[in-house]
Amino acid sequence: MNLQEAKQFVAHFVNGDYTREEYATFLRWLKGATLEELNDIADEHEAQHERWDVTGLMPSAEWKARLEGKLDDLGVEEAPIPVIGEKWSFRRKTWVAAASVVVVLGAGAIWYTQQGSVKPGFHKLTDFTSAVKTAENPKGGEDKKELLLADGSKVLLNVASTLRYPETFTGSERVVELSGEAYFEVKPNAARPFRVLVKDAEVDVLGTSFNVRAYGDESVCKTTLIDGSVSIESRSDKKKLTPGQQGIITYPSTGDIAIVPRVDIGDVMAWKTGYFVFRNEEFQVVARVLERYYNVEIEYDQNIAVTRVSGSVSRAKDLTANLRQFQGMKVSNHGTKVKVTL
């Protein structure tokens, strides 16, 4: 890609008319772009939209601080980014012009450094559609919340879980975004693959049933294949699963995906009937599950946190009964706070 082709890509990007391959090519070109070329790209960007509405793509304060620091290192003139309502207005200053390009990249969750490298980031649902709906099963919610997507695919949401999905699937892919745990039964469609975005990974399928567990407060992301075939892709690895296998990404992570060759599907899917099965798990893992089920805060010391326990919990029982089954733990209940001791 040359500078002229990069300008053409930015015009397509603003209109939402681009492919993943074109986007990847643009990122590779940016790796060697000069500051002058960045300004040329920003000129094209401004020509397309003097004020480009980036509602929902505003970077965090930390993200902007990183940008400021990088541009300072480059000796670029500093100027504040003016904000008008929910929109960014880009002025004719070098600092803001460079920031304009970084915001373009921010839509794909990419961090660009002039003297560093371009690291591929995983897409967000907003890259594929603007009409996004959100379904939530909150802490203390239903055993499972059932959703029927526009393509006929079925999703069951566990407690403390959120699914973001388009009202209709209009592109070449069917893409949803999950935080928490869900079971999917995907309608086959070879021409339109189904993708689940979770943390820093993606689960790709054509038509199959599988379970994804990707809670933000857990150090692992687990994908278990029930039937069919899926592949898991992280920032640096990609693995394909066969039925009965489980793919695990552990955080903090280099992106490596570990494969468990055979898991107990009954244990994995017990949550659909209001149960959760533990086999030699640390108590802190059990506590997190119970906190979600009962919408409480469980207090315990470090010795209890790493104690290994086995058993099953049922929402048909009260919280105290579920806790006391584990090695004779003592429970004191204070409303939404529960203290566990040995």
Number of structural domains (the chain) is 3
CA angle (306 as vertex; 303, 307 as ends), nearest 5: 80
Residues 249 and 285 both lie in one domain: no
Q: For residue 131, which phi and psi values (nearest 5 degrees)?
A: -95, 90
Q: How confident is the model at residue 326 (pLDDT cuts 50, 70, 90)?
A: confident
- Whether 8 has a pLDDT exceeding 90, the answer reads no
Residues 147 and 229 both lie in one domain: yes
* Domain span at 139: 126-266
The burial of 100, by beta-carbon neighbours within 10 Å (0-12 exposed, 13-18 middle, 19 or more buried), is given as buried
Q: How far apart are CA 266 and CA 243, in angstroms?
A: 13
Residues 146 and 206 both lie in one domain: yes
Q: How confident is the model at residue 27 (pLDDT cuts 50, 70, 90)?
A: low
Tell me how crowded residue 85 is: count the other CB atoms within 10 A of its CB: 9
Is the whole-model pTM more than 0.75? no
pLDDT of residue 214: 92
Question: Domain boundary residue among 94, 121, 148?
Answer: 121
Residues 244 and 180 both lie in one domain: yes
CATH number of the CATH domain containing 286: 3.55.50.30
Residue 318 CB partners (closer than 8 Å, separation 6+): none
Question: Domain boundary residue among 226, 245, 266?
Answer: 266
pLDDT digits (tens, 9 = 90+) for 58-74: 444 544 454 445 445 44
pLDDT digits (tens, 9 = 90+) for 228-282: 999 999 888 899 999 999 999 988 767 789 999 999 999 999 999 999 999 999 9
Assigned token pair, 323: 């806790």
Residues 38 and 115 both lie in one domain: yes
Residues 136 and 259 both lie in one domain: yes
